[in-house]
């Protein structure tokens, strides 16, 4: 039995705790949150103990792993404290919004022999993974174009969450940068981005954007297009399409059922799309946890790494720089920042 401590029990932490508790070979021992009411509520839900302090979790020798689901600006501190306590880590994305802090964390982590898995759950989505697998199997020949559509359902998340998240590119598009790196056959080396405020004034008030298009080129010349919006009125729009010399492979949106209705007002009317990430990616979050448990069980390294988190953040920073300077930005992964 693998015993987990959950650090942060908000929207996603509560969901992760529930999924861990459902696994036949895992259990939640502790739930910690700076808000004790939230920690207690999730602890009760999964039959764990609420922790008053993070050290209650980290000093407990019976805890096998921690799952960090606190706000982004707390990840680096919690990663390093958990690593110092020898606890394997599954940490939500992004590592941080500050590349310099991520670099310091990377160097500090080097002295610990502790696995760190990054929460890029979309890699575990069966449909998106199907696109990846088809590309790797050569089913569409050489990949030439990758198109990633990623639009959130409105209305915007609560202002407090937006204030803490680091903006569209670092918080949301980061999933798409990782998906691009997952599917593309080589690394993006050039990024161009345009962004606008078309959806809700709250984003402009926070010096953020709500609508964006990113174009990337890999060393071999394959092109990737990512488009984002913070608002749809038809649910969570998550599609990945890979086009190659020998065909196309596409991951479509999901619905509760595949029933199609025809009547006087519409033809081929279908169920609404699954609403947002908790519903759309439920299977992916569970597969992510299963993959992490497999690392704990076998001792193999995580399949989604700290370096994946660092590289996706480098692409996000490059997109921000491109918007600011209205030019294509060249990527140098070995330098801490894009040039």
Q: Which residue ranges make up the site for ligand NAD (CB under 6 A)? A: 7-13, 32-35, 38, 69-72, 74, 92-93, 119, 121, 161, 171, 277
| Nearer residue to ligand NAD within complex by CB, 148 or 329 | 148
How far is residue 30's CA from residue 201's CA, in Å, rounded to a whole number? 39
| Nearer residue to ligand NAD within complex by CB, 102 or 249 | 102
By Cβ distance, which residue is nearest to ligand NAD? 10
Nearest distance from C-beta of residue 330 to ligand NAD, angstroms = 27
Nearest distance from C-beta of residue 280 to ligand NAD, angstroms = 9
| Nearer residue to ligand NAD within complex by CB, 20 or 143 | 20
| Nearer residue to ligand NAD within complex by CB, 134 or 289 | 289
Nearest distance from C-beta of residue 52 to ligand NAD, angstroms = 12
Pairing status of strand 26-32 against strand 49-51: parallel
Pairing status of strand 223-229 against strand 237-244: unpaired
Q: Are 72 and 9 in contact (CB under 8 A)?
A: no
| Nearer residue to ligand NAD within complex by CB, 134 or 208 | 208
Nearest distance from C-beta of residue 120 to ligand NAD, angstroms = 7
Nearest distance from C-beta of residue 71 to ligand NAD, angstroms = 5
How far is residue 114's CA from residue 89's CA, in Å, rounded to a whole number? 8
| Nearer residue to ligand NAD within complex by CB, 11 or 231 | 11
Other C-beta atoms closer than 10 Å to the C-beta of 137 total: 9
Nearest distance from C-beta of residue 278 to ligand NAD, angstroms = 8
């Amino acid at each position: 039995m693998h015993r987990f401590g959950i650090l942060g029990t908000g929207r996603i932490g509560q969901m992760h705790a529930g999924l861990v508790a459902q696994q036949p070979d895992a259990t939640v021992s502790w739930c910690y949150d700076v808000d004790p009411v939230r920690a207690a509520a999730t602890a009760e839900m999964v039959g764990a103990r609420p922790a008053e302090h993070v050290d209650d979790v980290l000093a407990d020798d019976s805890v096998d792993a921690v799952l960090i689901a606190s706000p982004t600006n707390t990840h680096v501190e919690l990663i390093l404290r958990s690593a110092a306590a020898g606890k394997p880590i599954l940490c939500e994305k992004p590592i941080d919004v500050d590349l310099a802090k991520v670099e310091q964390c990377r160097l500090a982590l080097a002295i610990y022999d502790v696995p760190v898995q990054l929460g890029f759950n979309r890699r575990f989505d069966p449909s998106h993974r199907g696109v990846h697998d088809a590309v790797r199997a050569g089913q569409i020949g050489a990949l030439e174009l990758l198109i990633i559509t990623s639009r959130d359902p409105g209305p915007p998340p609560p202002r407090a969450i937006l204030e803490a998240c680091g903006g569209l590119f670092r918080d949301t598009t980061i999933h798409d940068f990782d998906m691009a790196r997952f599917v593309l056959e080589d690394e993006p080396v050039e990024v161009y981005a345009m962004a606008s405020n078309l959806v809700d004034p709250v984003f402009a008030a926070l010096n953020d954007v709500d609508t964006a298009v990113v174009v990337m080129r890999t060393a071999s010349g394959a092109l990737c297009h990512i488009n984002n919006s913070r608002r749809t009125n038809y649910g969570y729009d998550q599609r990945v399409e890979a086009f190659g010399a020998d065909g196309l492979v596409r991951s479509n949106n999901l619905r509760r059922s595949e029933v199609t209705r025809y009547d006087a007002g519409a033809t081929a009317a279908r169920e609404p799309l699954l609403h947002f990430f908790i519903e759309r990616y439920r299977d992916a979050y569970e597969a992510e946890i299963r993959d992490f448990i497999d690392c704990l069980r076998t001792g193999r390294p995580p399949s989604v790494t700290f370096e994946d988190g660092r590289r996706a953040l480098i692409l996000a920073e490059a997109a921000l720089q491109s918007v600011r300077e209205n030019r294509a930005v060249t990527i140098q992964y070995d330098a801490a920042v894009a040039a």
